[in-house]
């Protein structure tokens, strides 16, 4: 199995630009999670999908952030417009049955907003 | 959101020493997971503990879930340089809606 796939691995953009992060979960997993990791705040849950439906988006910082899961094999996290404080490593994770089960993390996308 | 506090935040020891990392909360969790993260990679699950008082061993690593399911510890015996990494505890909130991560303990084992 290829594991969770994220793209791009690195993204450098200028303030105000739109950024789209992509994730392909492990085949057969029905839960998908987007996290953000920074030195200051650690690993924070942004949003959680179950069977392609958003279950908990209380961690999404503000309206500039949006996430979609159009089908079981693809999800996007979009930031528009991006700001320097959005600089972080963004992880996508999937699990077979939901929150209490093992989450398999992708390699992350390192985002730098100048 | 239920909070988890990890201590220490940083730990630097010599190969062969023992160490303990703590994960504490004032809230009850349904289960607790421990992950290890290496630079440039995502966290990888080490163990899940579910029952209060549960102890699990993974080679030189011993994990314990507190009786009240509010805290956990990770003990490493005879640390090796390969144990170096960021150790994260994560609690499943009783609502079942999310996994809350602690801030992490950055462990460095020196040869």
How many residue contacts between A and B have a Cβ separation below 8 Å? 59
What 3-state DSSP class applies to B86?
strand
**DSSP per-residue string spanning A50-113:** ETTEEEE-TT--STTEEEEEEETTEEEEEESS--GGG-EEEEEEEESSSTTSPPEE---EEEEE
Mean pLDDT of chain B: 94
Closest CA to A61 of A39, A30, A83: A83
Chain B stretch 12-71, residues whose beta carbon is closer than 8 A to a beta carbon of chain A:
30-31, 33, 40-45, 48
Residue A76 has pLDDT above 90, yes or no: yes
Range A57-79 average pLDDT: 94
Q: How confident is the model at residue A1 (pLDDT cuts 50, 70, 90)?
A: low
Indicate if the pLDDT at residue B96 is higher than 90.
Answer: no
Closest chain B residue to the Cα of A58, Cα to Cα:
B1
Note the pLDDT tens digit of each residue in B23-55. Answer: 999 999 999 999 999 999 999 999 999 999 999
The confidence score (pLDDT) of residue B97 equals 72
Q: What is the pLDDT of residue A97?
A: 82
pLDDT per position as a tens digit, B5-25? 999 999 999 999 999 999 999
Average pLDDT over residues B97-101: 85
Share of residues in chain B with pLDDT > 70 (%): 99
Q: What per-residue confidence (pLDDT) applies to A2?
A: 83
Mutate to test the interface with B, among A39, A42, A48, A94 (most CBs of B within 10 A): A42
Which residues does chain A have within 8 Å of residue B46's beta carbon, measured at their own beta carbons?
none
Residue A19 contacts B, CB cutoff 8 Å = no
pLDDT value of position B33: 95
CA of B101: which chain A residue's CA is closest? A43
Quickly state the pLDDT bin for B1 (edges 50, 70, 90). low
């Amino acid at each position: 199995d290829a594991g969770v796939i994220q793209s791009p691995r690195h993204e450098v953009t200028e303030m105000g630009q739109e950024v789209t992060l992509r994730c392909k979960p492990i085949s057969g997993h029905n839960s998908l999670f987007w996290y953000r990791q920074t030195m200051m705040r650690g690993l924070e849950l942004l949003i959680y999908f179950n069977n392609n439906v958003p279950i908990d988006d209380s961690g999404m910082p503000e309206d500039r952030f949006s996430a979609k899961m159009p089908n079981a094999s693809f999800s996007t996290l979009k930031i528009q417009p991006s700001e320097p404080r959005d600089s972080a490593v963004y992880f996508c994770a999937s699990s077979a049955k939901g929150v209490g089960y093992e989450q398999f993390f992708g390699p992350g996308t390192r985002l730098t907003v100048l | 959101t239920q909070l988890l506090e990890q201590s220490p935040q940083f730990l630097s020891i010599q190969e062969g020493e023992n160490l303990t990392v703590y994960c504490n909360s004032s809230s009850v969790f349904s289960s607790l997971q421990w992950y290890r993260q290496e630079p440039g990679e995502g966290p990888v699950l080490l163990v899940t503990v579910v029952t209060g008082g549960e102890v699990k061993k993974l080679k030189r690593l011993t994990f314990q879930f507190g009786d009240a399911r509010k805290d956990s510890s990770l003990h490493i015996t005879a640390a090796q340089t390969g144990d170096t990494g960021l150790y994260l505890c994560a609690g499943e909130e009783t609502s079942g809606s999310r996994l809350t991560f602690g801030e992490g303990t950055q462990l460095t084992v020196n040869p």
